Structure 1
């Protein structure tokens, strides 16, 4: 073959390979049903995916919800197939979780996953570090004392950086650069997110019991309420509430100055009933975080969603990733507490506008919470890797990933009573 024809041949081969690569990329999250079925039925005896199953989706405010579907709620996965696999996947708790050696989840084969309502339970959790080489995944909680991490580790073992507090409440983690493979945090970009409450408190599904004509303001004789336990924090939330109280009535519950115990405010009640009682008597709930850091949304936002009250949020998280913008009010959209108060007063006087904030609930059903959904998802992913391999990443700069300077802002009420966000300039 002369050089001219050899070049033509090589060009044709290259074009074919490019087309194959494009097709591969398009089907990366799932091979074609025909190919996948042949592989799985011949080698695994069951099909790990329901190709015909569809997850519920709805368009609200020009955005499709849910924007992401956690593995433990994904109807396309055949959980029964994954549970039938012979090999038990193993998860090691390298540290306790705030002193709890069971990581508030449990230890053992399958049972902890069943007790936490995980759809896939073909896994074991243990905390015996002498068995480290057996583990598929090793969990390290960064807020506990961390024993030395071995330099030599099994090739396919993954180490998970785990923390559920914002960087403002963590030390600098630079010394752990190039150690971890994945993260399990509150952030939606974590490989194994623990989105406190979020998808675990409600599921996107048409709610046929939703009453579109309901007046959600009926019987509410109080304006706004907030529960604040941590009296400090870098978000200036107490300062904001104090300024807001100049224009509207705010019931402050909690341990901070001016706050009341919920049981004192609502006689014959318990702390467990507090949010429900607040929602029945108040029109707005102040869900203000103690720090304003990228992605940080605590349980106070998610836990209030099941109740008929409008959340008013202050924080650094993307709340509209979870529910539509028409379902909550963001403090950062208003120049000052006075501007926010003016809008809340408008809603208070306009039933149609007020009730519009609940329309999104026509498309969700509330349910019991899966507290540690990140572990459920780990078990699912580990059992799926026979079909969809887990890539192995190395996080080179975990210090930057979780630094105060790169992730957080400081809230401030200025001399003109406007609310500002400033860069963090303190010590990491």
Structure 2
């Protein structure tokens, strides 16, 4: 049995989804089911007996304030930094954590074990991404979409939707959207905002129905992140990609690691004026719109937890069962520089990055 100690509060998200014991690995039918998770530091008599100790990134500061860090360290153990939240919201600004963590388990694609939201498969069902270097088929080499998909896309009548409940974000996405709305007024169009930040309602318990509306009615969907961080791409793009809708992204990722060129629009690469103009033009040119769906013949998008081979809990347990990795000594000498962008410790709100607002 491999033992995992959750040093930070196991009742806090996302650790709460571990539960206690090995059930999480058994229920997910992981290849390796011999991992045991607990938040009880005395479960084995002494925390030195655990194979790995995992620290939840958002809870690091309370640990320091309460002097609640391990008092002794054992060379055979792995200390793991885990975080699925943006580094911009939870930056590491102190050098206290340098030479502390052996492994990272985060949404970053260069983590030792990725804890993300999305998996990409090719036409044969093999997992191919996301990863730092993707070898996508060029758009010009892709076939046209079939007549059945064309028929579905022709039913769309509305320009763009946005499902959102957080109305005050570090990324200032809401400010960008306001500017887009002003530009769309020139065309007698608007952004249909669903949730507590808009006029339309879409409770989480009826999300499948909302996605049906997205698939039937909307040309575009705003997949806007609440913070700007490297590789921070959440499930938002899946709403669009799996609902026959073109995602308009807004975040800090290199999106070519997640989607092929020609399948999305990147709002941070254009002004609100240009984005509004481009969405309007594409929505009025159905042949141009069709091209944004050529990828569907070659790739598919999934939640990572859908299958054991992409599930992050399964992969973490497999990593602990890798004897070579466990015996190899690694340490993040400059963890703060790895995790935190240069300006994250100083800028709490930065205007979205473009120069003109014509």
Q: Which TM-score band applies after superposition, normalised by the shorter structure?
A: 0.7 to 0.9
Aligned to 1:186: 107
Aligned to 2:193: 252
Structure 2 residue corresponding to 1:347, chosen from 282, 304, 318 = 282
| 3-state SS, counterpart of residue 292 of structure 1 | coil
| 3-state SS, counterpart of residue 411 of structure 1 | coil
Q: Is the 8 A contact 2:3 2:51 kept in 1?
A: yes
Map Cα deviations across residues 160-186 of structure 1 (whole Å, 9 max, x no partner). 111221133225452322211111111
Structure 1 residue corresponding to 2:122, chosen from 188, 204, 212 = 204
Aligned to 1:362: 297
Q: Give the TM-score normalised by the residue count of structure 2.
A: 0.79
Supply the distance in 1 between the matched residues of 2:192 and 2:172 (Cα, whole angstroms).
17
Aligned to 1:159: 79
Q: Which has the larger radius of gyration?
A: 1
Supply the distance in 1 between the matched residues of 2:58 and 2:170 (Cα, whole angstroms).
19
* Cα drift, residue 89 of structure 1: 2.0
* Cα drift, residue 190 of structure 1: 0.9
Question: 1:394 and 2:323 equivalent?
Answer: no
Runs of 4+ aligned residues of structure 1 deviating over 4 Å after TM superposition are 365-369, 406-409, 413-416
Q: Is the 8 A contact 1:225 1:286 kept in 2?
A: yes
* Cα drift, residue 243 of structure 1: 1.4
Question: 1:89 and 2:11 equivalent?
Answer: no
Structure 2 residue corresponding to 1:403, chosen from 340, 348, 354 = 340
Map Cα deviations across residues 298-348 of structure 1 (whole Å, 9 max, x no partner). 2212343222100000100122212212211111222x1111112112211
Q: Give the TM-score normalised by the residue count of structure 1.
A: 0.67
| 3-state SS, counterpart of residue 238 of structure 1 | helix
The 5-angstrom pairing of residues 299-378 of structure 1 reads 299-334=235-270, 336-365=271-300, 369-370=304-305, 373-378=311-316
The 5-angstrom pairing of residues 216-231 of structure 1 reads 216-231=152-167
Q: 1:218 to 1:278 in 2, by over 3 A?
A: same
Supply the distance in 1 between the matched residues of 2:240 and 2:16 (Cα, whole angstroms).
25
Supply the distance in 1 between the matched residues of 2:304 and 2:233 (Cα, whole angstroms).
16
Q: 1:391 to 1:211 in 2, by over 3 A?
A: same
Between the two structures, name the one with larger relative contact order (CA 8 Å, sep ≥ 6). 2
* Cα drift, residue 159 of structure 1: 0.7
Mind listing any 5+ residue stretches in structure 2 that lack a counterpart? 126-143
Aligned to 2:50: 135
Aligned to 2:18: 105
Q: Is the 8 A contact 1:93 1:103 kept in 2?
A: no
Supply the distance in 2 between the matched residues of 1:161 and 1:173 (Cα, whole angstroms).
15
Supply the distance in 1 between the matched residues of 2:78 and 2:208 (Cα, whole angstroms).
38
Supply the distance in 2 between the matched residues of 1:412 and 1:366 (Cα, whole angstroms).
28
Mind listing any 5+ residue stretches in structure 1 that lack a counterpart? 1-87, 264-268, 419-428
Map Cα deviations across residues 27-50 of structure 1 (whole Å, 9 max, x no partner). xxxxxxxxxxxxxxxxxxxxxxxx
Q: 1:98 to 1:401 in 2, by over 3 A?
A: farther
How many pairs are equivalent? Answer: 317
